[in-house]
Amino acid sequence: MPEPTAVHPDDMGYVPHAAGFVANEGPKLVSSRFPYEDSYTLECALATGAYTGLRAALGRTPDDVHTEVRDATLLGRGGAGFPAGVKWGFCPEGVWPRYLVANGDESEPGTYKDRLLMERDPHQLIEGCLIACYALGLSQCFLYVRGEMALAQERLAAALNDAYAAGYVGRNICDTDFSVDITLHWGAGAYIVGEETALIESLEGNRGMPRLKPPYFPAAIGLYGKPTIVNNVETLANLPWILEHGAVAYRGLGSEASPGTRLFAVSGHVVRPGVYEVEQGVTTYRDLIYGLNFCRGIRDGNDLKAFIPGGASAPWFFEEQLDLPLEARDVGAAGSMLGSGAIVVMDHTTDAVKACLRVVRFFARESCGKCSPCREGTSWEEKILERILDGHGRPSDLDLLLDIGDNISPGPYPVAAHGAAALDAVPFPPRQTTICPLGPSSVAPITSALRRFRSEFEAKITRRDGIPVQSAPVADGAPA
Amino acid sequence: MSYFTEANARTAAEVIARYPRPRSAVIPLLHLAQEQEGWVTRDAMVEIADLTGVTPAEVLGTGSFYEMFRFHPVGRYLVNVCTNISCQLLGGEELLHHVEESLGVHAGGTTDDGMFTVEEVECVAACTEAPCFTVNYRYFHRADSDTFDAVVADLYAGRSPLARGAQGDHGNLPAHGTLGRLRQHIPDDRRAGVVPPEEAGEEPVWLRTTPATAPSAATSTTRAPDA
């Protein structure tokens, strides 16, 4: 077995075989195996403590294991940040069988962590799935991997085959009476399938359209109408560490409201973009974007224009929010979300209208078409932004954009609690006229960009006589 | 006559057996059909309907929702160029333009020799490695026009371009349709068995007899982490 690969200084800290991962200082709960070149093999995994957490769990009662996870306050890593231990508690009593679906359909723009976890450490994920199944009495686990991730499917298939042969999955796991099958399942290209009820529809062999709520959680009625726990890959990958080290140790990391670490993918105009495992709450956006241990600033010494703090669905942040800690509660209070841990940094050369259009186009393309406000609204938003960018915009278009947004996600919007941070009232968390948050997500980039950079939009809209339209300055959206 | 080859028919049976309801196997079987022929034919959909107990229209209804399934022939190599926000900021659109220019097709088109189909796609989860493209869903990170030209030259010369791609992915680049080059296989003597939803059973056995019986002590040795 090869030794962990030393990080070469010329690589700027990148681990050569784990594309984009930077092994910086700090506690590593889910990425500890990434520096090993053969981290995805059972041999390497066992030599570095894999399945220790599972053995610890099997030595305790399932209820005990559930309590440990609930006490750890493990927040879901898929985007909504709901505590996993609480979600687990929503399974109705006495209804059997129950199922587990591991959500590996990572497709939120800017997000790159679950693919790394599946490609680089499949045994950690398998172990996490087994711990959840044991704690809740789940009869079967479905590992739903995004269709486009061919290598992840391969690595997981190999890991499952090895784990079955070694007695870690299947019948009588580790010589106990705990038996569960893990079925590797993969999608075929649809962002919306990451929504948990759409994921279940897809797993049942249907078009991946979200189900009408209530029930709000498939823990009540899920796969085949039975109680189903849907957890994100990163959430499940934390379970082995929690079971091995305990909830107290887990809560010793990060902040009180958001314990533990998270994987953050920082992309865009930074010197050293990458995936970093960061202790929550103690690191700020400024640390992450400018810190020597992290992204080392904006390329070419440029100025920051804006950044997306938690995936394409999140309202944008600006310079004033740089000192917010990477912590769900604080980011939420400031009017956006930590979401899927995806941070996209834009420098001052960025065309705000173009960036806004690209994000909106994503939602227009990925709308499943079930709800009219989203199906029609997102494509109108796209068309209007396109004509503004092409120089055919009309003076009324900017208000029209906001009006369409209001139809998908009606106001009045919650005003950001951090008034001092000078952040405008961005529509988050959104109200919605749709079944799922995809449509409302398309409103976030428009509101963010339009309120902050309205003059850029106006400069692209010309009157018939070719003179750029200039409306009266808006009091609430003063540009920097 | 059956659509699937003998080996694929066996695989199909194995896949179906992993689900409590056969309909759940529709998407995996569409992938299998695409692997066999490079795209999903009408005959394939009829066969999948037969195997999973739904109508051919339902198979098409499900399949047409997902962009990876092709209901017309495509090139041997599917080139997906990401232009979503992280890639756009670092030149994804310029990369797509180069791909279109050098292959002489617009996004959505296939080259005359049937080698390449080009698509402009949404985020493929390699955002820190922007701009990026994939060929038959194998990643090429931090790519520029030279990377793409080298990959094309490799493929025309019959060489695998994977060494130029994402670190840690080696071996052959299969033709369009094949995703994983390796399948899950559950040996019969290790299978826990599916629990159909109709089986309004009782709680699983380990909830009744807990803790599960003392597991054997961990045999793993500890290896020093990061060098």
CATH number at residue A305: 3.10.20.600
Report yes or no on A281 lying in a domain.
Answer: yes
Report yes or no on A31 lying in a domain.
Answer: no
**Cβ contact, residue pair A150, B126, below 8 Å:** no
Report yes or no on A33 lying in a domain.
Answer: no
pLDDT of residue A423: 38
CATH number at residue A163: 3.40.50.11540
Select B77-164's CATH number: 2.30.290.10, 3.40.30.10, 1.10.1740.10, 3.60.150.10.
3.40.30.10
Least Cα separation, residue B212 to chain A (angstroms): 6
pLDDT of residue B224: 52
* Chain A, window 365-404: residues with a beta carbon less than 8 angstroms from a chain B beta carbon: 365-366, 368
| Same structural domain, A194 and A310 | no
pLDDT means over runs of 10, chain A (480 residues):
54 83 92 95 97 97 96 92 92 95 96 96 98 97 97 97 98 96 96 96 98 91 96 98 97 93 97 96 95 94 96 93 91 87 97 97 97 97 96 92 92 45 45 91 92 92 68 47
Contacts of A362 in chain B (CB under 8 A): 84-85, 122-123
* Chain A, window 158-187: residues with a beta carbon less than 8 angstroms from a chain B beta carbon: 158, 160-161, 164-165, 167, 169-171, 174-181, 183-187
Residues with Cβ within 8 Å of residue B100, at least 6 apart in sequence: B106, B107, B118
Domain of A457? Answer: 352-477
pLDDT of residue A334: 85
Least Cα separation, residue B97 to chain A (angstroms): 16
Work out whether the CA dihedral A252, A255, A257, A261 comes out positive or negative. negative
Q: Give the residue among A112, A127, A185, A134 at the shortest CA–CA distance from A159.
A: A127
**ipTM, 2 dp:** 0.93
| Same structural domain, A189 and A51 | yes
- Domain end, chosen from A343, A367, A394, is at A343
Q: How far is CA A410 from the centre of its chain?
A: 24
User: How far apart are the C-alpha atoms of A273 and A267, rounded to whole Å?
Assistant: 5
b/e per residue, B115-148, with b = 16+ CB within 10 A? ebbbbbbbbbbbbbbbbbbbbbbbbbbbbeeebb
| Same structural domain, A159 and A12 | no
* A352–chain B Cβ distance below 8 A for any pair: no
| Same structural domain, A329 and A396 | no
pLDDT of residue A191: 95
Total structural domains within chain A: 3
| Same structural domain, A75 and A186 | yes
pTM: 0.93
Contacts of B122 in chain A (CB under 8 A): 107, 109, 191, 362, 365-366
pLDDT in tens, B24-35: 999 999 999 999
| Same structural domain, A6 and A153 | no
pLDDT of residue A431: 80
* B194–chain A Cβ distance below 8 A for any pair: yes
pLDDT of residue A3: 62
* B163–chain A Cβ distance below 8 A for any pair: no
pLDDT in tens, B80-123: 999 999 999 999 999 999 999 999 999 999 999 999 999 999 99
| Same structural domain, A106 and A242 | yes
Domain with CATH 3.40.30.10 in chain B: 77-164
pLDDT of residue A210: 97
CATH number at residue A386: 1.20.1440.230
| Same structural domain, A259 and A404 | no
A150: nearest CB among B179, B205, B216: B179
Select B6-63's CATH number: 3.90.650.10, 1.10.10.10, 1.10.10.1590, 3.60.15.10.
1.10.10.1590
* A346–chain B Cβ distance below 8 A for any pair: yes
- Domain end, chosen from A222, A251, A280, is at A251
| Same structural domain, A359 and A216 | no
User: How far apart are the C-alpha atoms of A273 and A295, rounded to whole Å?
Assistant: 6
| Same structural domain, A314 and A447 | no
pLDDT of residue A180: 97
Domain with CATH 1.10.10.1590 in chain B: 6-63
| Same structural domain, A442 and A359 | yes
Beta strand ranges found along B61-146 (DSSP E)? 77-82, 116-121, 133-135, 138-140
With cut-offs at 50, 70 and 90, classify the pLDDT of residue B215: very low
Contacts of A108 in chain B (CB under 8 A): 123
Question: Token pair 């241990």 is at which residue?
Answer: A293
pLDDT of residue A416: 41
| Same structural domain, A140 and A219 | yes
**Cβ contact, residue pair B127, A110, below 8 Å:** yes
Question: What count of other Cβ atoms lies within 10 Å of the Cβ of residue A394?
Answer: 14
Report yes or no on A69 lying in a domain.
Answer: yes
Which of B55, B85, B137, B210 should we substitute to test contact with A (largest number of A Cβ atoms within 10 Å)? B85
User: How far apart are the C-alpha atoms of A362 and A359, rounded to whole Å?
Assistant: 5
**Cβ contact, residue pair A267, B19, below 8 Å:** no
